[in-house]
Amino acid sequence: MGFLDKLRGEPKEEATAAAPGTGKEREITIEPITRIEGHLGVHAKLDTGAKKVIDAYAYSPMFRGFEIILVGREPSEAVMITQRACGVCPVPHGLSSVNAVDQAYGVSPPPMGVLLRDFVHGAEQLYDAQLGVLNLEGPDYSEVAVKKFNPDWWGEAEKTKASRSDVHGFATIADIMTALNPLAGELYLRSLLVQKAAHNMAAIFGAKHPHVHTFVPGGIAKINLSASDIESYLTLLMRNVAFAKELVTSTDDLLNFVLAQGYADVGAREINLCSVGSYNDPEAYSENYEDMTDWGRKRLVSPGVILNGELVTTDLVEFNAGVREFIGRGWYSSEWEQEVKTDPAGNEIAYEHPWNKRTIPEPGEYGKWGSKYTWVTSPRWNNWKGDGKNHVLELGPLARMWATAKAGLVPASTGSSLKFELPAAVIPGFKYADKMEFEWKVPAKPNAVERVRARAYYHAYSAYCVSSLVMQALEFMKAGKTKVWTPYEKPKEGIGFGAVEAMRGSCLHWCVMKDGVIHNYQYQAPTTWNASGRDPEEKPGPYEEALIQSPITEAGDPAAWKGVDIVRTIRSFDPCMGCAVAVHIGDRIVKRELLPYATPE
């Protein structure tokens, strides 16, 4: 049997062992589980009597090996190559990579170069947020899904008025659910048109999107920058400003209804979160590693690590020194040489830090839940200035909104919320033209609902942040500060760390250069953290934590459950993986779409 055959595995018999005092235990495997890029599965054990998940394993059955491909190449090539890790969110990879290479080369971009990089990044954040809320997660709460999996919700939704119908135009919650029907609903389809505007925004300064061509060490390759370029970007930005008002209010109304149906504990986990921040102060950003503490705190999206609900640091240098990438249950070897002992600031660097860690694949067998079971490693953060322990951190829009709200480093932060305003936008085809105030409030706990809500608010907050950056760029134009690139002489050796928020969470890149080429390169997408398996201390990753003890609300015979609550929980993190769904039940393999793509009769 070949390795791929081993990964596919043989169908397993359904478990029938009794769960004490509750009923039967059932096993279910859903793979792939997401609507974009694939390679993610979840194996879960269900207590059908108590209607909850009692154990879960998240796994990826695909190895790619970008980090191996990069060894021996020019560091600047990593900026282009690592973007190919994803066609959905390539810009954060390019931006984190170019920041790492800035440090390795010892070159800082001019302020306008910093701004234009963030323009490209902001454009992608605007497209990607609504993609997640309305096209990837929203259909799980659409009319077709609710009627199929939670039919008792539908009658209530038809009777429940939408409180913000004056903005989004939908009279009832049922109307919002209908608007989320895949390939047919109004919100689903209108989102695709607004996403096009954001793609075009990115292309103005990125040359194309996805996989932009203009990020270079020391700045951005934008020749003959003009005020009309910025004005064109602003025109498209205002479409997102207008749509953000509809997106947030319709999402709020829908999710408040879902919570009222008893959904608060679905996908819940402890308040252990991480953000590295985004949207730089253009005159503060520097390639100097030690300066990260200062310019990181000046970002419009704040860096921060939250443990047990408490903000323990906003220092990017401290964060980097605490990163550990354990092999855990991953199909890799953990045998490598510790070559980096301290960071440029003199802090101790661990054996498991990505500046030391190497990617050494060791293929294993599918379905061995008691040993290695995934191609995802187990990143953890060591609170080296505090308790000295390794912590499981959740990444994503909920984490960055939470950290920004608590950190008090930006004007919008109140300590328990983010309050900001979007301007009036009179644009044909959009429903609400007036200016609007927003307030995202820190919720009681992370759960499936609040992750989706935070993503909708982050679209609005990104529009707010990028609008501020545009005004700065116009002031720079007036002052003649139009330089976008700093010349440099590349050294023979260097080390760098790049960190920025992708839509799904912190995107992190590490580069070690020797003899003018890449000696070691490691990157961690946010899904690397969120989809991680058990670590050496047997702590499950964030997906797994969110599923274990999560309630099941799916209606009908437990023998016919398809796992919609599992899917909603995983998709609330917006994994960058999947499409249709195959459900493995006992000795049968049932291949079907979890959610039909037809409008109900």
Query: Which range (84-88, 369-373, 529-533) has the least confidence?
Result: 84-88
Number of CB atoms found within 10 A of residue 368's CB: 13
Model confidence band, residue 2 (pLDDT cutoffs 50, 70, 90): very low
Model pLDDT, residue 35:
66
Sheet containing strand 494-502, edge to edge, reads: 494-502, 505-514, 517-524
Q: Characterize 379-390 residue by residue with b for buried, 16 or more Cβ atoms within 10 angstroms of its Cβ, and e for exposed.
A: bbbbbbeeeeeb
Our CA dihedral for 488, 490, 496, 498, rounded to 10 degrees, sits at: 50
**Beta bridge pairs of residue 439:** 419
Model pLDDT, residue 570:
95
How far, in Å, CA of 399 to CA of 402, rounded? 5
The torsion angles phi and psi of 300, rounded to 5 degrees, stand at: -75, -25
How far, in Å, CA of 194 to CA of 129, rounded? 11
User: Strands, E, within 33-98: which ranges?
Assistant: 41-47, 52-59
Model pLDDT, residue 133:
97
The torsion angles phi and psi of 509, rounded to 5 degrees, stand at: -130, 140
Candidates 561, 565, 566, 567; CA nearest to 579 is 567
Model pLDDT, residue 37:
63
Q: Mark out the alpha helices in 215-323 (DSSP H runs).
A: 227-260, 292-297, 316-322
Domain chopping of the chain, boundaries: 66-530
Q: Are 129 and 503 in contact (CB under 8 A)?
A: yes
- Is the preceding omega at residue 210 within 30 degrees of 0, hence cis? yes
pLDDT at residue 598 is higher than 60: no
Q: Are 500 and 494 in contact (CB under 8 A)?
A: no
Q: What is the CATH number of domain 66-530?
A: 1.10.645.10
pLDDT at residue 8 is higher than 70: no
Model confidence band, residue 89 (pLDDT cutoffs 50, 70, 90): confident
Model confidence band, residue 587 (pLDDT cutoffs 50, 70, 90): low
pLDDT digits (tens, 9 = 90+) for 201-253: 999 999 999 999 999 999 999 989 999 999 999 999 999 999 999 999 999 99
Model pLDDT, residue 21:
43
How far, in Å, CA of 482 to CA of 476, rounded? 7
Name the DSSP letter for residue 597: S
How far, in Å, CA of 145 to CA of 139, rounded? 7
Model confidence band, residue 578 (pLDDT cutoffs 50, 70, 90): very low
